[in-house]
Amino acid sequence: MATDIGSDPILEIVGANKVFQRAKADDVWALKDVSLSVRRGEFVTIVGPSGCGKSTLLTAIAGLSRLSSGSMRVNGVEVKKPGADRSVVFQHASLLPWRTVRKNIAYGMEMQRSPGKSERRKRANWAMELVGLTGFADSYPSQLSGGMKQRANLARALATQPALLLMDEPFGALDAMTKGRLQVEVSRISQETSQTVLFVTHDIDEALLLADRVVVMASRPGRISKIVEVRRPRPRQEDFVESPEFIALRRELRLSIHGMDSDGAGTGVPAEVADATA
């Protein structure tokens, strides 16, 4: 089934700058002139070297930090603080240990004071079913595996029914097998719900498996250096990773990330070395 992507943007970023000022050293440009538009129903991944501003950008979109200049709008409304139109899934689940899975999933809705109790329970049950946790509604976080905790974390975000789901390396702390399963689940869920997703990752293969577009960021200053479109419809089958299309896209992304230094000039690193160190 082809991905249904709207023509109207959910997220619009124009000329975003984030500068960290230091008293006894040069200012640090975490983001410089970043502009990006994400359409309704689109799955966009962001990759780049450590320190390129991926998480800084996501944090600003979430409303957890302010830009130095530039603008961000979600559904046409300027981002100034956290809002019900955005949910964030971080690398660590941060579930409340004294609450059951169902009550942890309902927590985000409680903080928004909407909807009512009956609807919160209904949405929590829907989200648990969506991520495969129906049989664990009354379990506590200490009784869950790492993958199950992250499923609960994802369900909590989805239950608020956000316009934009922000994911910051959500599977980075998981083992390879669990990570692979959750990648499949996130792909399926985003497809079934037409959820708009912005997903930060260090993993190029993960970025290509999940995304309609992959945004490549360069560091010092943090900026968008390239955007690569993945034309294969979502959700993608396992054989995609062995296809000539995937191999070519992976090589293109690796060269984009490893073949440029902080000033944008070629490093002189051979492609074979870049591939081996990705």
More confident residue, 119 or 1: 119
Predicted TM-score of the model (pTM):
0.88
Q: Is the pLDDT of residue 268 over 50?
A: no
- Are 165 and 198 in contact by the 8 Å Cβ rule? The answer is yes
More confident residue, 256 or 274: 256
Q: Is the pLDDT of residue 25 over 80?
A: no
What is the mean predicted confidence (pLDDT) over 167-189? Answer: 90
Q: How confident is the model at residue 26 (pLDDT cuts 50, 70, 90)?
A: confident
- Are 257 and 264 in contact by the 8 Å Cβ rule? The answer is no
List the beta strands (DSSP E) in 69-222.
69-74, 77-78, 86-89, 164-168, 196-200, 213-218
pLDDT in tens, 115-150: 888 999 999 999 999 999 999 999 999 999 999 999
CA dihedral 56, 57, 61, 64 (to 10 degrees): 10
Q: How confident is the model at residue 266 (pLDDT cuts 50, 70, 90)?
A: very low
Neighbours of 177 (CB within 10 A): 9
What is the mean predicted confidence (pLDDT) over 221-236? Answer: 92
Q: How confident is the model at residue 3 (pLDDT cuts 50, 70, 90)?
A: low
What is the mean predicted confidence (pLDDT) over 53-72? Answer: 95
The CATH code that applies to domain 1-82+215-278 is 3.40.50
Q: Which two tokens stand for residue 69?
A: 């200049």
Burial of 28 (0-12, 13-18, 19+ CB in 10 A): middle
Neighbours of 23 (CB within 10 A): 4
Q: How confident is the model at residue 4 (pLDDT cuts 50, 70, 90)?
A: low
What is the mean predicted confidence (pLDDT) over 46-53? Answer: 92
Within 13 A of 173's CA, how many CA atoms are on the CB side? 14
Q: Work out the mean pLDDT of the chain and round it to a whole number.
A: 88
Longest dimension (CA), the chain: 61
The domain ranges of the chain are: 1-82+215-278
Share of residues in the chain with pLDDT > 70 (%) = 91
